[in-house]
């Protein structure tokens, strides 16, 4: 079955497979959202089934919660768990300092809360997400529905003084209506093309009335695992400076692939 995966899905799979090697018995885990994180949830479920691994997951979205439940992963709320050992999630972009843009799946608020409530964050991704400077991927900003157009106008005004290449902003849609996040908010996507100072932008965006959170994850990620379509994985630890080249074999597993209804 693994041979039928596209190269990009193979890259996501091997990154996810390598990431769950970091999971130990008794851990409380943040479970990310998105296509790469979904592979991680499946790989984690396989370890639980085959090894009797005992963990508790805190999902970062209703989608991840549903998937985890369907695969038999015990889950709880962050309020119940209080603090987590590890969060594993994907990213839309990451730079050389492991700063991230996240929120392509509209789950950035819960993702950031869960990640910052963890001792460690591992990001699983493919090589295409690696950039010299963040900003090619639209930066999501979560805003409350009340007065969202005012919040958007204030964001556009703020961007005039920021080191960005472009300042176009758009409301994220779901068909003919505004997309609604799990927390009942809207997403405004900032099409900046290049962000010269992500740290500064992350701080000032959150000072705008109506802005709940933004998709810049600064100094949160500890390890990035980059998967490749040939099974190679690169593990980079920002804290130690270590970079490891590894390989994950494609072993067909009914436990992982038979569940897929997508």
Among the listed residues 46, 66, 97, 111, the single catalytic one is: 111
Q: Is 96 annotated as a binding residue?
A: no
Q: Is 215 annotated as a binding residue?
A: no
Q: Is 105 annotated as a binding residue?
A: yes
Q: Is 92 annotated as a binding residue?
A: yes
Q: Is 219 annotated as a binding residue?
A: no
Q: How far apart are CA 28 and CA 26, in angstroms?
A: 7
Q: How far apart are CA 16 and CA 209, in angstroms?
A: 37
Q: Is 77 annotated as a binding residue?
A: no
Scan for tokens 């959202």, then name that residue: 33
Q: Is 104 annotated as a binding residue?
A: yes
111 is catalytic: yes
Q: Is 33 annotated as a binding residue?
A: yes
Write 79-83 long-range contacts (CB < 8 A, 24+): 81/28, 81/56, 82/117, 83/28, 83/117, 83/118, 83/119
Residue list, annotated binding site for substrate: 33-36, 89-92, 102-105, 129
Residue list, annotated binding site: 33-36, 89-92, 102-105, 129
> Catalytic site residues?
111
């Amino acid at each position: 079955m693994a041979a039928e995966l596209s190269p990009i899905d193979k890259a996501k799979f091997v990154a996810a497979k390598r990431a769950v090697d970091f999971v130990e018995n008794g851990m409380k885990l943040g479970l990310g959202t998105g296509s790469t994180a979904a592979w991680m949830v499946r790989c984690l479920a396989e370890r639980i089934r085959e090894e009797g691994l005992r963990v508790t997951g805190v999902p970062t979205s209703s989608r991840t919660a549903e998937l985890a439940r369907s695969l038999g992963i015990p889950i709880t709320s962050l309020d119940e768990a209080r603090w987590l050992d590890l969060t594993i999630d994907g990213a839309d972009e990451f730079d050389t300092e492991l700063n991230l843009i996240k929120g392509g799946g509209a789950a950035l608020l819960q993702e950031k809360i869960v990640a910052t409530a963890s001792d460690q964050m591992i990001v699983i991704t493919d090589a295409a997400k690696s950039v010299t400077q963040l900003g090619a991927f639209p930066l999501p900003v979560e805003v409350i529905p009340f007065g969202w157009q005012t919040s958007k106008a204030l964001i556009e005004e703020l961007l005039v003084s920021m080191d960005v290449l472009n300042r176009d902003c758009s409301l994220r849609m779901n068909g003919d209506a505004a997309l609604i996040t799990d927390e009942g908010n809207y997403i405004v996507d900032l099409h900046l093309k290049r962000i010269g100072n992500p740290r500064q932008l992350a701080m000032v965006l959150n000072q705008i009335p109506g802005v709940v959170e933004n998709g810049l994850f600064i100094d949160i990620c500890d390890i990035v695992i980059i998967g490749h379509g040939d099974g190679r994985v690169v593990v980079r630890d920002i804290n130690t400076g270590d970079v490891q080249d590894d390989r994950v074999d494609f072993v067909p597993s009914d436990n992982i692939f038979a569940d897929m209804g997508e």
